[in-house]
Structure formats: C-alpha cells, structure tokens
Structure 1
C-alpha cells in the first residue's frame, strides 16, 4: 500500500482544510497516512524565516478570505476563530503522544473541528479535554503523558527531522523523497503516492 507522511502544524490555518478531508481521500484512494505532528516555529527559526502571516497585514487579510473561499468550494465547515495566532504547542504534544497508540489522526480531526466550527481554540485546555473526551480517552492521563519529559523531547526531535526533509511550512506531505507543501498540493501528493509510491 502506498504511504504518505502528513506534517501538520496545529496553528496552521491551511492545515485545517487538509485535516478536514485527508482521511476520507486516503481511504478512497488506498493510501496509508503517517501522521507527523510537529511545532513549526523552531523549524522556521532554523531556516531564518519569520511568522508567515503577520497580524494586520494585507497577506493575512487575503489568507482569511482565501480560506473562506476554499472551505466553501471544498464543502468544509468554516467559522473564523476568535483568536489568531494560537499556541499550538500543547496540541502538538498530545497528538504526538497519540501517534504511539493510533489515535493521532482522530484527535487531530476533532481538535481542528472544535477550533474551526465551535470556537473552542486549539491549544486550550478546553479544546484538548473535549477532543480527548470525544475519543473516549482519559484526558488527565493523556495530558500527563503529553507533558512528560520523554514526549517533549520526542516533539523537539521532530524539528531536525522536518528540516532534513526540507519542510518549511504546513501542511506538508512527503512521499518517498518528494515534498509537497500546502493544502492546494494535497491531491498532487496523493497522485505521486499512487504512481511513484
């Protein structure tokens, strides 16, 4: 079965569009997803890059309108969050902890859904606990694991792995040695996985 690495940053606006549809597409096409939660700021810092969408800039204003248009075209529920940017570090830690036990994708989908449709912000205790509860997981136990020294180090180790793969933004998809960046390249990544994977 062809496979694809999925590099998700939980504060990334365009990652939401990917997360809302990638599971369904992967199942339809028969592509295995290897979820790679990571924290983007250290990766961008390593590469000398700043914040991609500064507040109150024309680029950010365009991003919000573009997200609204793309969500409408893709049939993805969309409600602009009340806060931007958000601190995604707690969410990335929980997602990485979930990778070991096989619930990373379901948690990711639920955390993004709560953020983008219910106004329950990513990175907040409410978002984490509600997403974990929906999965039937013990939130206190998972949060303890997510904040353990070993899991924190594992998330830090994602930075050099991302840099090694040439990742500079999210969402990113890696098929073999090929990197695809951006939600608008998701279908290209699937095509590559099916023809070259």
Structure 2
C-alpha cells in the first residue's frame, strides 16, 4: 500500500503555489494520500541568517524566480499574476489548515487561498479574504475561524513550524515520504512533486 506524502508548505511561498494546485489531483490519480502540513518560513529563514525571503534579499534570484514561475504555471495551465506585494503570508489561513488538516475541505481551501494571492493579487493576510475562501468550502466559516485562533488549536501551527525545523526543512514546498520502519525521504521544490509520489508508490529509480 502506498505511504502518505506529507506536503509542507507556506502560503507566502511562490513555488508552493503550483505545487498546491497540482498535488491533490496528481495524488488522487496515483492513489496516494496527502497530509497537509502548513508551517511558517520566517523562523526557518532567520535560523539560516535571512532577514526576509532570499528572493527579496537577492534581486537577481527574485527576478529569475518570477520568470520561472510564469513558465511553470504556463506549462501546467495554472493562471498566474505576479502579486503586487511579496512575500504575503496568511497566518490565519495556516492556522485553519493546521487545525483541521484531516478534513475534506482543506485541499480546496488551500487552492483557493493560493489563487487569491498568486492569481487575483489579493491580500491573504486580510481576514475577510481568508473567510471568503473558507466560506466557499464550509458552512460554519466564522465558528472555525474563531476556534483556529484560540487555544488549543492555535498551537498546532506553532507545533508544525517547530516540527519542520526539527525535520531539517529549509524551504517550501517540501514533501516527506516514508515510515518509521523503512525511513523517510525528503524532497524539496515543486519540481520534486512527481518524485515524491513515485517514492510513495515504491517506483522511484533508487527503490528498484
């Protein structure tokens, strides 16, 4: 039976956008379960010595990233518009996913919030934008938002971020595959999504 793929992402992450829009359909076709694991990159970057996103601190890298993202989205038929502000994160959105990670509406909500930023250029740190995206998937959006911003559910995003650092994650998107018996494999970057799914299925070249 295929092992699950942990999808570690940050709503501010540009390369997590195409990964988030692709992963569920690709996993469904492959018969692989996805575990959604939002975390915050800020503490990870600070530990690495960055004050902000490397794409902001190094303009040449940023220029390349935006053009690369255009190409990637075009290849996969994903609508894209460069946000007028970068990086934009959504702590509330991440708290919601961390709090309700196993619920069926999560994949659709994740895609909607990413589209709000990278397709519609909306401020995903605005609670009204988050609520609109959530209300498209659940009837009790206000109650879920209130619960996600209170303890103990609020703590889950902090725990995810601490866990990400402990696992050695250094960027997003990251995909973690495996189990305690056979060990875990880490894949980093949107371009490693297919490899991660292949590993979950036992079909990667290193597993043959």
Q: TM-score, normalised by structure 2?
A: 0.87
Give the equivalent residue in structure 2 for 1:170: 172
CA displacement at 1:152 relative to structure 2: 2.2
**1:13 match: secondary structure:** coil
More helix, by proportion: 1
Q: Report if the CA contact (8 A) 1:17-1:76 is conserved.
A: yes
Give the equivalent residue in structure 2 for 1:58: 60
Q: TM-score, normalised by structure 1?
A: 0.91
CA spacing shift, 1:154–1:78, aligned 2, 3 Å: same
**2:175 match: secondary structure:** strand
> Is it true that 1:112 corresponds to 2:114 in the alignment?
yes
Q: Report if the CA contact (8 A) 1:96-1:104 is conserved.
A: no
User: CA separation in 2, counterparts of 1:70 and 1:188?
Assistant: 17
CA displacement at 1:65 relative to structure 2: 0.7
Unaligned segments of structure 2, at least 5 residues:
179-183
**2:94 match: secondary structure:** helix
CA displacement at 1:49 relative to structure 2: 4.3
Unaligned segments of structure 1, at least 5 residues:
none
Q: Report if the CA contact (8 A) 1:43-1:168 is conserved.
A: yes
Q: Report if the CA contact (8 A) 2:173-2:188 is conserved.
A: yes
Aligned equivalent of 1:181, options 185, 188, 191:
188
CA displacement at 1:28 relative to structure 2: 0.6
CA displacement at 1:47 relative to structure 2: 4.2
CA displacement at 1:134 relative to structure 2: 0.7
Tell which deviates more after alignment, 165-174 or 52-61: 52-61
User: CA separation in 1, counterparts of 2:120 and 2:66?
Assistant: 17
4+ runs of 1 displaced by more than 6 Å?
none
Q: What's the Cα RMSD here?
A: 1.9
